[in-house]
Structure 1
Amino acid sequence: MSTPTDAAPAQPGVRKSGEDLLTIEDIHVYYGNIAAVKGVSISVKPGEIVTLIGSNGAGKSTTLRTVSGLLRPRTGKITFQGESLVGVPGHKVVSKGICQSPEGRRIFPKMSVEENLELGAFLRNDKAGIAADKERVLDLFPRLKERIAQKAGTMSGGEQQMLAVGRALMGSPKLLLLDEPSMGLAPVLVDLIFDTIRTIRDQGTTVLVVEQNALAALRIGDYAYVLESGHLKQEGIAREMLKDDSIVKAYLGG
């Protein structure tokens, strides 16, 4: 798992200074003739948890898929560690240090937990590093260790979500993309997943998370962006957004 020395956690209430790890500038992304993302600009600094919140259809997952190389913006720039990602295929994006846990988990149900984790490291050939990362993942998610030989499709939704996150971590990412990690989970498991996301960041991996559960996301996030109908509506320090009446009313049930 990546542990860069410049990725210390952000301080509460203050955004870190310095260069961005990821910069998205004025991207426009379409499905056919339908605009899904309309001029969105965001940045992620090393050591942060940055969260994208918004209702269903706001363009959050499309933004992540574009960073991952699964979609290509019609216009705009995406830069990771100073290099352009526009037009870079997905597997090469992974090799640059960006790994995603997709919406809906998409684990391989007929394979064991261990086989799923090993697939997460498919671009790596550092056996010692892979073994060390596997141990870290199993320490983060003890339930996976208990079910290491079990077929992934027989596990609960929460366990499959743990596996999806663990599989992404096996790529040793500098930036971990999480798409709706709490979807369909019981509240106790939501708390567990988000506590683990904070631990992952504290261990040195920067995180960009898309989440409809705005309350949970803002509680663990350092910086937040609000998307609405493909547009960037608001941004700011995550904890301060918890006090914003417009955010509370629109996304937190206030």
Structure 2
Amino acid sequence: MSALLEVENLVARYGRITALEGISLAVNEGEIVTLIGANGAGKTTTLRAISGLVRPTSGAIRFAGRDLARLAPSEIVRAGIGHSPEGRRVFPRMSVRENLELGAYTRTSKAEIADDTERVLTIFPRLKERYEQKAGTMSGGEQQMLAMARALMSRPKLLLLDEPSLGLAPKLVQTIFDVIRDINARGTTILLIEQNARQALAVATRGYVLEVGKIAHSGGSAELSASEAVRAAYLGGAA
């Protein structure tokens, strides 16, 4: 059976700088797959290429067997890929409700949008309490919940999460990872970038390690957690 997402020999550049040097990865339906690596390794560029925000120099990106290379970002959302970006990127002067409505901009069924609004408010009960509050007045953790909820409003088959725990207090980090498990258990496949490699590997099925635009290691989460090279570089050294 073919993977839900297939990235093959992907090369991406910013001017003369090569961000990705021919990476290949796959995400199967129902999995949580994590992509870990140091800052500048190319993790965010990978997600931006998948969602159409960065145009690859060469290589292939296939989703459910469909070539994404020439699709606009809005068409990629319609195809079934949601993206919660690094830095949250909520609309600060708009309410929680308005941010969620924008997440559903590619859809037309009001009844289905209403159903999905209720669904994300069940997953993120704090947002229900803040429903008419301006996003910019909420805490960082609440804004992160909103960014994830907004991405879910497109009803994605695959959710791209870029650094969901960045800048959050430890208690909120655990909450976010509990929510990631819940979203996956409800049927959404996830490709996760996360600075907290230990937490990422604990929640993921499999992982890839990016180093300077190349895949340096890949395997099951337990295998990567046990790797001396991965432990030394990303898990604080000790097993």
| Shorter-normalised TM range | over 0.9
Alpha-carbon offset, residue 92 of structure 1: 0.7
The one of 183, 192, 208 aligned to 1:225: 208
Q: Would the aligned equivalents of 1:221 and 1:239 in 2 still touch at CA under 8 Å?
A: no
The secondary structure found in structure 2 opposite 1:242 is helix
Q: Which residue of 2 aligns with 1:112?
A: 95
Residues 45-84 of structure 1: matches in 2 within 5 Å? 45-84=28-67
Amino acid at match of 1:192: T
Give the aligned CA root-mean-square deviation in angstroms. Answer: 0.7
Task: Give how far 1:42 is off.
Answer: 0.2
Give the secondary structure class of the aligned counterpart of 2:164.
Answer: coil
Which residue of the other structure, out of 149, 154, 159, is the alignment partner of 2:132?
149
Alignment of 1:163-178 (within 5 A): 163-178=146-161
Q: Which runs of 5 or more residues in structure 1 are unaligned?
A: 1-17
Give how far 1:133 is off: 0.9
- How many Å separate the matches in 1 of 2:29 and 2:64? 10
User: With structure 1 as the length reference, what TM-score do the two structures score?
Assistant: 0.92
Contact 1:215–1:252 (8 Å) recurs in 2: yes
Q: Secondary structure at the match of 1:194?
A: helix
Once the two structures are superposed, residues 114-145 of structure 1 have per-residue CA deviations (whole angstroms, 9 ceiling, x without a partner) of 11011100110111211111111111111101
2:171 equivalent to 1:193? no
Q: Secondary structure at 2:226's aligned position in 1?
A: coil
**Aligned partner of residue 195 in structure 1, secondary structure:** helix
Distance 1:59 1:29 in 2: 9
Q: 1:135 aligns with which of 118, 136, 143?
A: 118
Higher relative contact order at CA 8 Å, sep ≥6: structure 1 or structure 2? Answer: 1
Q: Which residue, 139, 158, 165 being the options, matches 1:182?
A: 165
**TM-score, length-scaled by structure 2:** 0.98
Q: Letter of the aligned partner of 1:161 in structure 2?
A: Q
- Residue 15 of structure 2: aligned partner: 32
Shift of 1:73: 0.9
For 1:55 and 1:92, how far apart are their aligned partners in 2?
31
Shift in Å, 1:239: 2.4
Give the match for residue 72 of structure 2.
Answer: 89
Deviations 1:197-252 (A, max 9, x none): 11101100000011111011000000100000001000000122112221111001
Look up the match of 1:208.
191
C-alpha distance in structure 1 between counterparts of 2:70 and 2:41, whole Å: 23
Where do 1:232-251 residues align within 5 Å?
232-251=215-234
